[in-house]
Amino acid sequence: MVLPSLELTMEIYEKMWQEASAAFQRGEVQVDLHLLDKSGDSRRGVTLVLRPSEVVRGRVVEYLEELKAVCPGQYFYQPEELHVTVISVVSMTERWREEFKPLDEYRRLIAGALTVQRKFQIRFRGITASPSTVAIQGFPEGDSLGRIREELRSAFRRADFEGGLDRRYKIVAAHMSALRFSQPEIDWERLLPLLSAGRNIDFGVSEVECLQLIQGDWYASAGTVQVLDEYPLTL
């Protein structure tokens, strides 16, 4: 089993940033039209997530307030919505009622896979981006997060449910979405310097002692998320 290294994680974030910053310098973004009225978005999914600590969350909110001051019309995650996706159990889909049918079995598999997993720390440092999103970079310390992901994939594979995990892409990094572009009118002369400065911000370290299995919309919106299970990491 080959787990992602710190170098690979940094390479992923750097590649994302270089591609996104080039688009931003051209004044190009991918606008998410669902954000204008999320009530019309029927996609739902189930995701295993970790939450940042209060300290990290506070520092992220402070930075987002700076961004909001120069681009107030965009979509900013609320503090309680901030999360890192550990693994996508049921990818977001409009056919979620059909996809949720094995959910009880999924929950049993996840609980079994997490009984012997260790607590770990994750440092949030700097930001990266895509043409649609600004995200906080996460750097897990040690290999615990990678091992959790691989153990879950193995458990689902043994139960012939492998096709349900990572359906959009295999999750490797540990970033935390914080801003999504909901309109194209952006003051790039003011926003770009703040994004560049954000590349060097140390948001702090979170001790991850518990994971949550949540059901909700694409954005893990506070108004739609339902916590299905919580899994303490006890070792």
The answer to whether 17 and 129 are in contact (CB under 8 A) is yes
Model pLDDT, residue 201: 98
Q: Inter-axis angle of helices 188-198 and 54-70, to 10 degrees?
A: 160
Residue 199: inside a domain, yes or no?
yes
State pLDDT tens for residues 110-128.
Answer: 999 999 889 999 999 999 9
Domain coverage including residue 103: 6-232
Q: Is 103 helix (H, G, I), strand (E, B) or coil?
A: helix
- Per-residue model confidence as pLDDT tens digits over 139-153: 999 899 999 999 999
In sequence order, the β-bridge partners of residue 84 are: 50
Per the structure, the count of domains in the chain is 1
Confidence of residue 40 (pLDDT cuts 50, 70, 90): confident
Could you give the count of Cα atoms lying within 13 Å of 144 in the half-sphere of its Cβ? 21
- Return the CATH number at 84: 3.90.1140.10
**Helix/strand/coil for 192:** helix
Q: Would you list the DSSP string of 4-57?
A: PPHHHHHHHHHHHHHHHHHHHHTT-----GGGG-GGG---EEEEEEE---HHHH
Number of neighbours of residue 105 by Cβ within 10 angstroms:
12
> Is position 15 within any domain?
yes
Can you state the angle between helices 6-25 and 188-198, rounded to 10 degrees? 170
Burial class (CB in 10 A: 0-12, 13-18, 19+), 159: middle
The predicted structure's pLDDT at residue 3: 66
**The pair of three-digit structure tokens given for residue 13, joined into one six-digit string:** 């974030």
Chain-wide mean pLDDT for the chain?
A: 92
- Whether residue 1 lies inside any domain: the answer is no
Task: Say how far apart CA 232 and CA 210 lie, in whole Å.
Answer: 4
Each residue of 67-99: b (16+ CB within 10 Å) or e? beebbeebbbbeeebbbbbbbbbbbbeeebeeb
| Predicted confidence (pLDDT) at residue 162 exceeds the cutoff of 70 | no
Query: How far, CA to CA in Å, does 177 sit from each of 4, 129, 173, 231, 234?
Result: 20, 9, 12, 22, 27
Task: Kindly report the pTM of this predicted structure.
Answer: 0.94
Which tokens is 54 given? 């209060």
